[in-house]
Amino acid sequence: MSMISTKDLHEGGIIREAGNSATYKTGDWRTFVPKFVEENCIHCMFCWIYCPDTAIEIDASGPKPLMKGIVLDHCKGCGICAHECPPAKKGKAALVMVREEK
Amino acid sequence: MSGKMVEIRWHARGGQGAKTAAMFLAEAVLTKGKYGQGFPEYGPERRGAPMRGFTRISDAPIRRHCMIENPGIVIVLDSSLLDSPAAGVTAGTAAGTVFLVNTTDAPAAVSKKLGVKGAKVHTVDATGIALETIGRPIPNMPMVGALLAVDDMLSLDELKGALVEQLSSKFSQVVIDGNLAAIDRANKELVSA
Amino acid sequence: MEQKLVALSGNEAVAYAFKQARPHVAAAFPITPQTEMMHKYAEFVANGESTTEMILVESEHSAMSAAIGSAAAGARTFTATSSAGFALMWEVVYIAASLRLPICMAMVNRALSGNINIHCDHSDSMGGRDAGWIHLFSENAQESYDNGIMAWRIAEHMDVRLPVMVNYDGFIISHTADALYMLPDDAAWKFIGKYNPAYTLLNPEKPITVGPLDLTDYYFEHKTSQLAAYEKAPAIIQQVSDEFADLTGRRYGFAEEYKLDDADMVMVLLGSSAGTCKDVIDEYREKGVKVGLLKLRTFRPFPAAYLAKVLAGRKAVCILDRSASFGGQGGPLYTETRSAMYGLQVPVHGYIYGLGGRDFDLKQAASVIENLKKVAAGGEIADINLLGVRL
């Protein structure tokens, strides 16, 4: 990552670029990774609500939000999404944790 | 330091209005084109506690910010302080120092008590005057009136004008009139040795 | 400019100066001898003479915290304190400076405990001398008022953006009725002007983050950026002071040089004792003693190069501190001035005086000059001396 020099910093340590945490990639050290099985998804948004980061990508443009997948740049593999995902389609959940291939 | 400077030390008890008088006089002389500085010595803020106040009046801006050790004029608002060595009424005084004492005693008796050779002692019953004019034993303004009988730093009218200006926003006309009458009476009733 | 001659206490004078800046917010907690200043300000607000939003907080830590929030939101903000009040602000005092918030603060100098004392010395503000504020010192009510006007222009200048502390001596100045010239409200407002914040916390169109975590990767860079502000501040302080002189006729710089041109001997000090020294210097001057006074106005930023220039070539210099530095080397003014004089080959010694409001009188000032004469004639004196105390 490139480091900003003193002369290019905002005075007072103020951060003026809003929402810049989206550009900070933190998801590069997982053991397990959530696998999205789209046909089992009922788009309940539990995963989006419970994700402690911003790793669930959704499409909010329609009348009802749709789960789109995992943003691996921010996912730390904690598994909360898979734990909360309801097995609504024939007892099958849409998110399952699998060992990540490195 | 250029020009003449008068240094006044006030001795009183908390609640007698010496702080107000010391600061008021510093403000009142501005109308005369003079510079004033007034401040009390802050100690235990208890009603009846001995306290000192200081006023400097000068033709030139006043620069020093220390207490007054060698006053030209000493004003005593409570005669019981004459008997208190701790009050230090005579400290730093000498022949020629003017003493203005609120008492029913004659100047000769006060002179004897003070024991400062060559001091000029004046007395006035400011408490009596205050009781009769203001209705309360607050001798500060009558003492300022008496002061003008021994020093021409201000005319009586200038003093009264400044007093009205300062009191009018805070006090009723009755109180203002009482103070004005007290100033006039003390100015006339001052007894000199 | 026509100015009104009035008699006001130092506290009242600063209350007027701050009112004339039309601040949006004031947050303060009462402490002697600052209380009267906020009383006066509360009176302005109650009378409708000021529209300042007054936040009456439950402690000085809260006062400074509220001031920081307010200033970060883009409001012109002030607070006021003394002694233990400043000590309680301690943590957030640094934050005000680090965030580069142009808060103005009336600092009514009072001794720190213990034992408990309400009177003047400079141990309160000196404790915060490295916190990043600009420290202006005042000799009398006039200078307290003038600094109270200029503080806003200095603090809010885009090259400075630092909080400013207007120091004036507790009781000696704060509670003394003194004659001073005051600017009319409109002239003061024209001089100070409207505040244009660099950013505002409360703009939903342009959200920002204030006070983020700052670790080993960036803290040093941010402090380096802050350090640069103190390099820029002196020029701005002088520029604002010059403009003020054009308006009022009262000239200010980093220090007042009193009878210094041909002085062999120089006293260096801060605050109200300067006036007392001037009267005594005049007496000595009449006797042909070449003594002068350097009364420092800006303790922070410390004008080291200026002092070295002014003090070079003198026969004797003494530095008077109204605060002790326990376990240190003399008082803070001594340490800094002596350091600024490194290499000058001028004999220098120091005094600690006036702690807890001990009167600094004409005799003490005269004794200092007597010692200067001895040193100038090749005599010896201790590096640090105590003045006006029973040993």
Taking only the tens place, the pLDDT of each residue in B117-135 is 999 999 999 999 999 999 9
The predicted structure's pLDDT at residue B30: 93
CB of A9 less than 8 A from some CB of C: yes
Residues of C in contact with B66 (CB under 8 A): 276, 359-362
pLDDT band, residue C1 (cuts 50/70/90)? confident
Query: Tens digit of pLDDT for each residue in C116-130?
Result: 999 999 999 999 999
Q: What is the 3-state secondary structure (H, E, C) of A26-60?
A: CCCCCCEEEEECHHHCCCCCHHHHHCCCCCEEEEC
Q: Check pLDDT > 70 for residue B1.
A: no
Structural domains in chain B plus CATH codes: 5-192 (3.40.920.10)
Nearest CA in chain C to A15: C209
CATH number of the domain located at residue range(s) A6-99 in this protein? 3.30.70.20
Taking residues C290-298, what's their average pLDDT? 98
Q: 3-state class of B165 per DSSP?
A: helix
Chain C residue numbers with beta carbons less than 8 Å from the beta carbon of A5 are 221
Task: Give the closest-approach CA distance of C361 to chain B in angstroms.
Answer: 5
Query: Both tokens of residue C155?
Result: 């603090």
CB C44 within 8 A of CB C78: no
Chains B and A touch (3+ CB pairs under 8 A): no
Task: Give C77's pLDDT tier (boundaries 50, 70, 90).
Answer: very high
The per-residue pLDDT of chain C, averaged, comes to: 97
With contact defined as beta carbons under 8 Å apart, do B186 and B21 qualify? no
The sign of the torsion formed by the CA atoms of C253, C256, C259, C264 equals: negative
Which CATH number does the domain C255-387 belong to among 3.40.50.300, 1.10.287.3510, 3.30.310.50, 3.40.50.920? 3.40.50.920
Q: Are C and A neighbours with ≥3 CB pairs closer than 8 A?
A: yes
Query: pLDDT, tens digit, for every residue of B4-58?
Result: 899 999 999 998 999 999 999 999 999 899 999 999 998 777 788 899 999 999 9
Cβ contacts of C206 on chain A, cutoff 8 Å: 16, 18
Q: Over pLDDT 90: what percentage of chain B?
A: 87
Q: Does C100 touch chain A (CB under 8 A)?
A: yes
Buried b (16+ CB within 10 A) or exposed e, C246-263: ebbeeebbbbbebbbeeb
pLDDT tens digits, C209-221? 999 999 999 999 9
Regions of chain A with pLDDT less than 70: 1, 102
Lowest average pLDDT, out of B28-42, C280-294, C295-309, goes to B28-42
Q: Mapped to the 3 state alphabet, what secondary structure does chain C carry?
A: CCCEEEEECHHHHHHHHHHHCCCCEEEECCCCCCHHHHHHHHHHHHCCCCCCEEEECCCHHHHHHHHHHHHHCCCCEEEEECHHHHHHHHHHHHHHHHCCCCCEEEEEECCCCCCCCCCCCCHHHHHCCCCCCEEEECCCHHHHHHHHHHHHHHHHCCCCCCCEEEEEECCCCCCCEEEEEECCHHHHHHHHCCCCCCCCCCCCCCCCECCCCCCCCCHHHHHHHHHHHHHHHHHHHHHHHHHHHHHHCCCCCCEEEECCCCCCEEEEECCCHHHHHHHHHHHHHHCCCCEEEEEECEEECCCHHHHHHHHCCCCEEEEEECCCCCCCCCCHHHHHHHHHCCCCCCCEEEEEECHHHCCCCHHHHHHHHHHHHHHHCCCCCCCEEEECCCC
| Residues 221-260 of chain C whose Cβ lies under 8 A from any Cβ of chain B | none
Q: Which of C196, C183, C226, C213 is nearest to C6 (CA)?
A: C183
Residue by residue, what is the 3-state secondary structure of C156-176? HCCCCCCCEEEEEECCCCCCC
Question: Which chain C residue lies closest to B69 (C-alpha atoms)?
Answer: C361
Q: Which residues in chain C have their CB less than 8 angstroms from residue A14's CB?
A: 99, 199, 208-210
For chain A, the chains sharing at least 3 beta-carbon pairs closer than 8 angstroms are C
Q: Which residues of A touch C228 (CB under 8 A)?
A: 6
Q: What are the sequence ranges of the domains in chain C?
A: 4-248, 255-387
Contact C285, C326 (CB under 8 A): no
Map tokens 């989006």 to a residue. Answer: A48
Chain B: nearest CA to C132, how far in angstroms?
Answer: 30
Tokens read off for C125: 């503000």
Residues C222, A18: C-beta atoms closer than 8 Å: no
ipTM associated with this complex: 0.92
Query: Residue C354's pLDDT band (boundaries 50, 70, 90)?
Result: very high
For domain C4-248, give its CATH number from 3.40.50.970, 3.40.720.10, 3.20.20.450, 3.40.50.150.
3.40.50.970
pLDDT tens digit sequence for C224-252: 999 999 999 999 999 999 999 999 999 99
How many CB pairs (< 8 A) connect B and C? 73
- Contacts for C205 with CB less than 8 Å, ≥ 6 apart: none
How far is Cα A8 from Cα B125, in angstroms, rounded to an integer? Answer: 77
Find chain B residues with C-beta within 8 A of C361's C-beta. 66-67, 69
How far apart CA C227 and CA B35 sit, in angstroms, is 43
